[in-house]
């Protein structure tokens, strides 16, 4: 059932789960939780799971003595009449909010009345509105926790009170699961300043992509991130579990370049392995560090294995990631990548775009993701003050050009110009290396998969976004860094910093539509 309420002045559209009620069990009855729940009705755990609520959340509610039931007719009638039910301390409706998180809505709200009212006047208004004071909150004027005595529930009261000009706000007090903030247990996570910069080694606290709050919402599950490079260590302990079966490689033969959908025999490259780790090194496996989107699927495509080849091969790789049927007769266009990143290209030199690669970029950008468009991230040239327009690939309109920042949120020796779109950590960052190892490295090559992995997080919470919509989100949520001397134009762009340093938390929130 569709429901509405107000939050921070915004009308929120939400969903009440039909035929499900949340019940707070009396402490005395908690020992016999199963029996008490059965007396109230049938378990609604399946319905809660179908609504997208994980078992960890459900179990957390149960530890707090909240259970989800499909109430019996007798229980439902008793709750509707406001009668006491044996073993039940409180009850509420289960509301799925726009973020996908559930909350239990009882009759409790938080409200604030106009600060010009005296306390006596404010409490008279509360009584007139059918609100019973539970607590007067003293950290702001005329702020109260109240119970709606006459409204259907807190959501209905929120809507009813919105047009009462004596109230500043009236918002439901949802009972919700608020777990501890996630921090990876991977042993070398602390070396990855790109994810959490505490200010060590001369860095600036917070000069990172703010990915930890984003991980509270998503790890990128369901996203397929394609990385095009010279080769990869696909058996690396921190990558192997995430490597897609669609991974493959190009090789030169007697009859030309062929594509093999396989990881056995794939060329190895320290560069590609490092890039793959930045995007999606695995999570919580007790090994190494972690990537930006550690539960994404890594579609690793090796081409130009000796760094010599044609743009035709590169174009084929780009088109394959967008639509596997371009190389595999049995390939399904629906199995293409959600995000593409490549860090191939010359440094401090012109790179001319040939028509064949241009067509591939246009194909991927327009027909990838079954017409929603494939976002293409590409590392810009390393080298101070290099004109980005000299590189016709990275400056192509369908490519998102990424440059690198250091641990002080300053740009570091990379191309500049109007086509720079984003900046991300790329100086002494920590990731996977070929041969099963780990280490640090510097380059725009590693800033690009960092940005791409963060974009995968944003897309994972709203897979329906088009390429252009995701691109706009990444622009608008980027942090304007560089210090007081750095000026961004009216469009929010700077030639060295693009639209700013990637902020994963803001990108995920904006993609998710979270108020």
Q: CA-to-CA distance for 183 and 197, rounded, in angstroms?
A: 13
What is the residue whose two structure tokens read 């029996």?
35
Q: CA-to-CA distance for 196 and 194, rounded, in angstroms?
A: 6
**DSSP helix/strand/coil, 229:** strand
- 121: which residues sit within 8 A by CB, 6+ positions away? none
Buried b (16+ CB within 10 A) or exposed e, 479-514: bebbeeeeebeeeebbbbbbbbbbbbbbbbbbbbee
Overall size of the chain counted in residues: 515
**DSSP helix/strand/coil, 166:** coil
Domain boundaries, the chain: 2-105, 108-172, 189-512
Residue 294 CB neighbour total at 10 angstroms: 26
Residue 443 CB neighbour total at 10 angstroms: 21
Q: H-helix or E-strand containing 277? A: helix 270-280
With CA atoms as reference, report the closest residue to 456 among 495, 400, 412, 416. 400
Torsion angles phi and psi, residue 460, rounded to 5: -65, -30
Strands 102-105 and 66-71: unpaired
Identify the DSSP state of 352. P
Per-residue pLDDT 10s for the chain (515 aa) are: 999 999 878 898 999 998 899 888 887 655 555 566 677 878 888 888 988 888 878 887 888 788 999 888 888 887 777 777 877 888 889 998 887 778 888 898 889 999 999 999 999 999 999 999 988 887 778 989 899 988 889 999 999 999 999 999 898 888 777 543 343 455 565 688 898 888 888 899 999 999 999 999 999 999 999 999 989 999 999 999 999 999 999 987 545 688 999 999 999 999 999 999 999 999 989 899 999 999 999 999 998 876 667 788 898 899 999 999 999 989 999 999 999 999 988 777 678 888 878 989 999 999 999 999 999 999 999 888 889 998 899 999 999 999 999 999 999 989 999 999 999 999 999 999 999 999 999 999 999 999 999 999 999 999 999 999 999 999 999 999 998 899 999 999 999 999 999 999 999 999 998 65
CB-CB contact of 218 with 508 (8 Å)? yes
Buried b (16+ CB within 10 A) or exposed e, 238-262: bbeebbbebbbbbbeeeeeeebebe
With CA atoms as reference, report the closest residue to 15 among 93, 89, 68, 90. 93
Distance of CA 431 to the CA centre of its chain: 20
The CATH code of domain 189-512 reads 3.40.50.200
Using a 10 angstrom Cβ sphere, with 0-12 exposed, 13-18 middle and 19 or more buried, the burial of residue 14 is: buried
């Amino acid at each position: 059932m569709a429901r509405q309420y107000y939050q921070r002045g915004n009308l929120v559209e939400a969903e009440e789960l039909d035929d499900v009620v949340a019940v707070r069990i009396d402490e005395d009855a908690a020992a016999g939780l199963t029996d008490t729940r059965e007396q109230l009705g049938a378990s609604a755990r399946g319905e809660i799971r179908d609504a997208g609520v994980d078992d960890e959340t459900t179990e957390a509610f149960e530890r707090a003595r909240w259970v989800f039931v499909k109430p019996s007719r007798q229980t439902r009638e008793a709750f509707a009449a406001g009668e006491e039910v044996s073993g039940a301390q409180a009850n509420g409706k289960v509301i799925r909010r726009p973020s996908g998180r559930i909350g239990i809505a009882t009759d409790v709200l938080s409200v604030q009345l106009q600060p010009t009212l005296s306390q006596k006047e404010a409490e008279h208004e509360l009584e007139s509105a059918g609100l019973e004071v539970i607590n007067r909150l003293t950290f702001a004027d005329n702020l109260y926790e109240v119970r709606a005595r006459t409204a259907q529930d807190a959501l209905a009261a929120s809507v009813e009170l919105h047009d009462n000009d004596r109230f500043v706000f009236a918002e439901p007090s949802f009972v919700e699961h608020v777990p501890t903030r996630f921090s990876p247990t991977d042993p070398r996570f602390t070396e990855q300043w790109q994810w959490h910069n505490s200010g060590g080694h001369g860095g600036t606290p917070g000069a990172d992509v703010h990915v930890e709050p984003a991980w509270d919402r998503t790890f990128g599950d369901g996203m397929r991130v394609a990385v095009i490079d010279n080769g990869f260590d696909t058996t690396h302990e921190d990558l192997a579990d995430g490597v897609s079966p669609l991974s493959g490689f190009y090789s030169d033969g007697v009859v030309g370049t062929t594509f093999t959908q396989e990881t056995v025999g794939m060329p190895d490259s320290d560069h590609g392995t490092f890039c793959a780790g930045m995007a999606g090194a695995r999570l919580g496996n007790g090994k190494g560090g972690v990537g930006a989107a550690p539960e994404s699927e890594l579609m690793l495509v090796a081409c130009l294995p000796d760094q010599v080849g044609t743009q035709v091969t590169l174009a084929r790789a780009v088109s394959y990631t967008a639509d596997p049927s371009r190389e595999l007769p049995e390939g399904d266009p629906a199995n293409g990548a959600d995000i593409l990143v490549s860090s191939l290209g010359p440094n401090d030199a012109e790179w001319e775009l040939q028509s064949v690669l241009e067509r591939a970029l246009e194909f991927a950008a327009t027909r990838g993701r079954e017409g929603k468009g494939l976002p293409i991230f590409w590392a810009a040239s390393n080298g101070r003050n290099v004109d980005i327009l000299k590189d016709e690939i990275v400056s192509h309109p369908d490519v998102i050009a990424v440059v690198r920042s250091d641990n002080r949120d300053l740009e570091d020796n990379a191309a500049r110009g109007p086509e720079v779109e984003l900046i991300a950590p790329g100086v002494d960052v920590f990731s996977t290396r070929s041969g099963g190892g780990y280490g640090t490295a510097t380059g725009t090559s590693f800033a690009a998969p960092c940005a791409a992995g963060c974009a995968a997080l944003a897309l994972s919470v709203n897979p329906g976004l088009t390429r252009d919509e995701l691109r706009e989100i990444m622009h608008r949520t980027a942090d304007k860094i560089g210090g007081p001397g750095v000026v961004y134009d009216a469009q929010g762009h700077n030639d060295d910093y693009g639209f700013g340093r990637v902020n994963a938390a803001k990108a995920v929130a904006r993609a998710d539509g979270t108020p």
